[in-house]
Amino acid sequence: YCKLNQMNKAEQLFDEMIKTNIKPDIITFSSLIDGFCKSGEMKKVEEWIQKMNQFNIKPDIVTYSSLINMYCKSGKIQKAEELFQLMQQNKIKPDVITFNTLINGYFKSGNLEKVITTFNMMSKYNIKPNIFIFNTLIDGFCKLKQIEKAKEVIEMMKKYKIKPDEVTLKILKKHNLKY
């Protein structure tokens, strides 16, 4: 139901689970939280985080990534940063999705310094950039008229032996760049 954005039905199913003594787990809560994050219902997200705490279930990488994504998309980058810090304090290792979300959020807020430090932080966690990271970087730099930086990213892509995908090619074409 969450993937179909039928959040009322998802909540009803949760209630049925509780009535029939089926204990919800992190997957249940992460699915609900992600669904409400994607529909932009911050109040509901907060309610479900509280419910998760009542069941003594700790957020995982999926939960944190959903929340960070929601805050980045709504322009609340400081809240996303706080969650990123909390996630690390709770010994949850960020993944490539978390980093891509933050990098995208920093581009939207125009903070190139944070884009670069966040990208560089990936190596601290032994996370290699993938095509999604490179597409976000190239597109973000181009949108902010940082064409030389975008060209540096293209060269870095070659060093990592990552071939452009359809999205990369569209970005390059749109900005008159070549791989």
Q: What is the DSSP track for 80-131?
A: HHHHHHHHHHTTPPP-HHHHHHHHHHHHHTT-HHHHHHHHHHGGGGT----H
Structure confidence at residue 4 (pLDDT): 59
The rounded radius of gyration (Å) of the Cα atoms in the chain is: 19
Structure confidence at residue 64 (pLDDT): 94
Residues 6+ apart with CB under 8 A from 17: 23, 24, 28
Point out the residues of the chain with pLDDT beneath 50. Answer: none
Q: Round to whole Å and give the CA distance between 36 and 19.
A: 22
Task: For the full predicted model, state whether its pTM sits above 0.95.
Answer: no
Please provide the average confidence, as pLDDT, over all residues in the chain: 92
Structure confidence at residue 7 (pLDDT): 84
Structure confidence at residue 121 (pLDDT): 96
